[in-house]
């Protein structure tokens, strides 16, 4: 908890507007809800640049996707993606083995075997991609709105403390 408070404190003190900081973190968090594991830094940087968010904070925001949260994120993306595509999740709770799926995809990439890549990736990645876009949009707003308010308040209090200290 202390580390989280310290990180929030450091983010709020970063140079830039509250919009820039909150939008940057929201970009990193949103990108964590896409199936593009391994390229989250790249996508977070690009998205933060597009919305004029703080790129450094966007990279920090990608920590939302981590080894403890990825299993939940992937199951959510897979289930909701199947629901969006098929109208149902298929009944039983049979989830793909994400580890072996990503291992097969990496093997196919290293061999430059496009057929093997398509066979192993599409059944899992396509539903995750379809669900990842709307989920990322919701996650962006879910992080941006409270962070902007918190950073505005923090910067306002800090400004008043500085003013009061200078008057003494």
SS3 155: helix
Tell me: the pLDDT tens digits for 106-155? 888 888 888 877 887 788 888 999 999 999 999 999 999 999 999 888 88
What angle in degrees, to the nearest 10, is found between the helix axes of 70-86 and 114-167?
A: 120
* Cβ-contact 40, 32 below 8 angstroms: yes
Among all chains, which residue has been given the structure tokens 């973190």? 25
Tell me: the pLDDT tens digits for 28-73? 999 999 988 889 999 999 999 999 999 999 999 999 998 899 889 9
Residue bearing the bigger pLDDT, 105 or 145: 145
* Cβ-contact 60, 86 below 8 angstroms: no
State the pLDDT at residue 15.
Answer: 76
What angle in degrees, to the nearest 10, is found between the helix axes of 18-31 and 2-12?
A: 130
């Amino acid at each position: 908890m202390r580390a989280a408070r310290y990180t929030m404190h450091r983010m709020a003190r970063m140079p830039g507007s509250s919009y820039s900081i909150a939008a940057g973190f929201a970009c990193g968090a949103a990108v964590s809800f896409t199936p593009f594991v391994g390229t989250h830094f790249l996508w977070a940087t690009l998205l933060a640049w597009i919305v004029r968010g703080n790129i450094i904070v966007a990279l920090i925001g990608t920590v939302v996707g981590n080894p403890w949260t990825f299993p939940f994120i992937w199951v959510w993306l897979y289930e909701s993606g199947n629901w969006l595509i098929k109208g149902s999740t298929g009944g039983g709770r049979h989830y793909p083995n994400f580890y072996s799926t990503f291992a097969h995809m990496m093997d196919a990439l290293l061999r430059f075997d496009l057929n093997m890549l398509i066979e192993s990736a599409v059944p899992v990645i396509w539903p995750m991609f379809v669900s990842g876009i709307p989920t990322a949009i919701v996650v962006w707003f879910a992080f941006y709105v409270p962070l902007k308010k918190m950073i505005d308040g923090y910067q306002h209090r800090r400004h008043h403390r500085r003013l009061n200290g200078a008057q003494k």
